[in-house]
């Protein structure tokens, strides 16, 4: 069954205030894949999609309106029909996602994904002390362009117009971009690409090896959601003790 939402004064949140989890400081989105913060309703929804042909990812979101109690909704991405017994907002992989459904999904808690939920890693920009060591690896063309293209191919997840001062040539001023991108396995800032393109300064050793092996990124909504949740440190949510 597919449920509908109205475009009104609704606000979407990933969780309700709860002294046992977040208190009143509910993050803007959550990654709960494989975690223990699911109640019986969430577990039943996950069970309904697990193993169902074509299921890609499942989110839970709470819909808040001024004059009504909170309403729990589920958002399902699928490459097939929605499984029986699940009331959800459903969209097909590859289809254009309606704006209100996308708003609900992006403000939700990711509960399950068919893809391997491997731990995300954040790529360093510098070697130490906000700078580059003299022996830092440098790349030449065409290798530099190939790696830069893979960096630029990451999905943008957190944009900012702010710029940092170039640490190699401070006379250039505040020109280094700070927006974040991901490929679903690593998270990096556009500073990494800037220093590569401008000076040939390679990404960190492990990240560079990943970029060489992985090819140009191809992310999905669940991967982007997990990365953004990690930036907000909401993937590390744990119950308050005592």
Q: Cα(115)–Cα(34) distance, rounded to whole angstroms?
A: 12
**Is 95 strand, coil or helix?**
coil
**Is 8 strand, coil or helix?**
coil
What pLDDT, in 10s, does the model give residues 50-102? 988 999 999 999 999 988 999 999 999 999 887 877 889 999 999 999 999 99
Per DSSP, helices labelled H in the chain are 40-49, 99-106, 143-152, 190-199, 205-214, 221-231
Q: Cα(107)–Cα(13) distance, rounded to whole angstroms?
A: 6
Contacts of 119 (CB under 8 A, 6+ apart): none
What pLDDT, in 10s, does the model give residues 169-180? 999 999 999 999
Q: What pLDDT shows up at residue 93?
A: 94
Q: What pLDDT shows up at residue 239?
A: 38
Pick from 207, 38, 81, 221: nearest CA to 139: 207
What pLDDT, in 10s, does the model give residues 206-241? 999 999 998 887 889 999 999 999 998 754 443 333
Number of neighbouring beta carbons within 10 Å of residue 14: 24
Q: Cα(133)–Cα(140) distance, rounded to whole angstroms?
A: 18
- Give percent of the chain above pLDDT 70: 90
Q: What pLDDT shows up at residue 2?
A: 38
Instruction: Delimit the domains of the chain by residue range.
Output: 11-115+222-231, 121-218
Q: What pLDDT shows up at residue 22?
A: 67
Mean pLDDT over all residues of the chain? 89
Pick from 90, 118, 108: nearest CA to 42: 108
Q: Cα(60)–Cα(28) distance, rounded to whole angstroms?
A: 13
Q: Cα(92)–Cα(79) distance, rounded to whole angstroms?
A: 5
Q: What pLDDT shows up at residue 232?
A: 86
Cis amide leading into 48 (omega within 30):
no
38 or 101: which carries more pLDDT confidence? 101
* pLDDT over 60 (residue 129): yes
Lowest mean pLDDT among 38-42, 84-88, 101-105: 84-88
Q: Cα(88)–Cα(161) distance, rounded to whole angstroms?
A: 36
Q: Cα(23)–Cα(16) distance, rounded to whole angstroms?
A: 9
């Amino acid at each position: 069954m597919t449920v509908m939402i109205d475009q009104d004064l609704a606000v979407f949140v990933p969780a309700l205030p709860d002294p046992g989890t977040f208190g009143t400081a509910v993050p803007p989105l959550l990654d709960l894949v494989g975690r223990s913060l699911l109640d019986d309703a969430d577990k039943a929804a996950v069970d309904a999609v697990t193993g169902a042909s074509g299921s890609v990812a499942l989110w839970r979101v709470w819909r808040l309106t001024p004059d009504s109690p909170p309403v729990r909704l589920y958002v399902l991405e699928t490459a097939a029909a929605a499984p029986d017994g699940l009331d959800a907002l459903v969209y097909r992989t590859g289809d254009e996602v309606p704006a209100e459904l996308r708003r609900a999904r992006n403000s939700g808690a990711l509960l399950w994904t068919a893809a391997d939920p491997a731990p995300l890693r954040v790529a360093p920009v510098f070697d130490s002390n906000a700078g580059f060591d003299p022996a830092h690896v440098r790349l030449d063309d065409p290798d530099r362009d190939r790696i830069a293209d893979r960096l630029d191919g990451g999905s943008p997840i957190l944009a900012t117009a702010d710029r940092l001062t170039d640490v190699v040539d401070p006379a250039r001023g505040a020109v280094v971009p700070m927006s974040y991108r991901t490929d679903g396995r690593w998270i990096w800032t556009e500073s990494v690409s800037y220093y590569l393109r401008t000076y040939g300064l390679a990404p960190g050793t492990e990240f560079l090896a990943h970029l060489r092996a992985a090819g140009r990124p191809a992310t999905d909504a669940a991967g982007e959601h997990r990365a953004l949740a990690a930036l907000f440190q909401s993937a590390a949510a744990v119950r308050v003790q005592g």
